[in-house]
């Protein structure tokens, strides 16, 4: 076997035959390739022209109405759990699903508010709004007056401002993770871990809403031992609530 036969059999490319990356992309570029790339970024351009209205529209309409009716109280409840006005829960339920319609890649994924995320946002609210270092008091003494006026400033944050900043930061982190293709990390999450996380989240949500269900006031806690502190607060508050009704 000579050199020519060897190169023809094994497909060796000579140095002078190698193309640069720009030249390869120029040769491979076409309108169909660009359209497929756009469809990969905006999947609705791919599945909507192939959607069968006669076969699927009736069932999808009933499903959409059912889910829409369900997410109205769910979104309001999760917004209350997060510490913001209930109307923002409706906004998050609508706009998240609406945007996912254009950019989503799965029809089986539920997009919207989540109980654990709402609890984590409420924890940030508690830490930020109740921070004593953010509240500064000054006393303004009026001339020819013995009364003092105390003005509080520095704590101009609102729960919605904190939620917006937190949402923006989480979105940037998720975008960076998507660009780095870190989705493979989900392969290392085992089923027992998912089950334990789900059970723990359910317990946290239950204890965070017990005071509202019973009608007692319990101080908010966060950090290690939060469940134990909330349980102790409920045990102390329930007898006082019962005695108050009996009296």
pLDDT per residue as tens digits for the range 132-143? 555 444 344 444
- Quote the pLDDT of residue 23: 63
- Quote the pLDDT of residue 6: 63
Cα–Cα dist 209/211, whole Å: 6
- Quote the pLDDT of residue 153: 43
Q: With beta carbons less than 8 A apart as the criterion, state whether 151 and 131 touch.
A: no
Coil/strand/helix, residue 222: coil
pLDDT at 121 over 70: yes
Tens of pLDDT, residue by residue over 60-117, are 899 889 988 988 898 898 888 888 888 998 888 888 888 888 888 877 777 877 888 8
User: Within 10 Å of residue 58's Cβ, how many Cβ atoms?
Assistant: 10
CA distances from 146 to 2, 138, 140, 143, 150 (A): 109, 16, 11, 8, 13
| pLDDT over 90, % of the chain | 5
pLDDT at 30 over 80: no
The mean predicted confidence, pLDDT, of the chain is 77
Structure tokens at 93: 């339920």
- Quote the pLDDT of residue 67: 87
Structure tokens at 173: 């982190």
Q: With beta carbons less than 8 A apart as the criterion, state whether 88 and 160 touch.
A: yes
Structure tokens at 166: 């937190």
Kindly calculate the radius of gyration of the chain based on its CA atoms and give it in whole angstroms: 29
**Nearest of 131, 132, 127, 93 to residue 113 by alpha carbon:** 93
**Nearest of 125, 114, 122 to residue 197 by alpha carbon:** 114
Please compute the mean of the pLDDT values over residues 189-206 and round it to a whole number: 85
**Which pTM was predicted?**
0.63
């Amino acid at each position: 076997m000579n050199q020519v036969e060897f190169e023809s059999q094994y497909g060796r490319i000579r140095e002078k035959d190698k193309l640069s990356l720009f030249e390869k992309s120029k040769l491979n570029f076409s309108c169909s390739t660009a359209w497929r790339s756009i469809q990969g970024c905006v999947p609705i351009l791919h599945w909507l022209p192939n959607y069968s209205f006669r076969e699927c529209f009736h069932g999808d309409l009933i499903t959409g109405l059912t889910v829409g009716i369900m997410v109205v109280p769910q979104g309001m409840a999760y917004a209350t759990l997060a510490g913001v006005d209930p109307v923002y829960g409706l906004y998050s339920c609508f706009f998240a699903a609406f945007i996912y319609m254009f950019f989503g890649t799965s029809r089986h994924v539920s997009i919207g508010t989540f109980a654990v995320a709402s609890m984590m946002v409420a924890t940030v609210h508690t830490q930020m709004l109740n921070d004593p270092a953010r509240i500064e008091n000054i006393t303004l003494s009026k001339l020819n007056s013995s009364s003092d006026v105390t003005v509080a400033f520095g704590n101009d944050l609102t729960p919605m401002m904190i939620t917006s900043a937190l949402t923006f930061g989480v979105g940037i982190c998720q975008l960076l993770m998507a660009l780095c293709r870190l989705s493979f990390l989900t392969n290392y999450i085992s089923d027992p871990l998912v089950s334990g996380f789900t059970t723990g989240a359910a317990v946290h949500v239950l204890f965070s809403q017990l005071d509202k269900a019973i009608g007692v006031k319990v101080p908010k806690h966060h950090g290690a031992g939060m469940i134990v502190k909330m349980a102790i607060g409920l045990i102390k508050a329930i007898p006082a609530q019962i005695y108050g009704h009996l009296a």
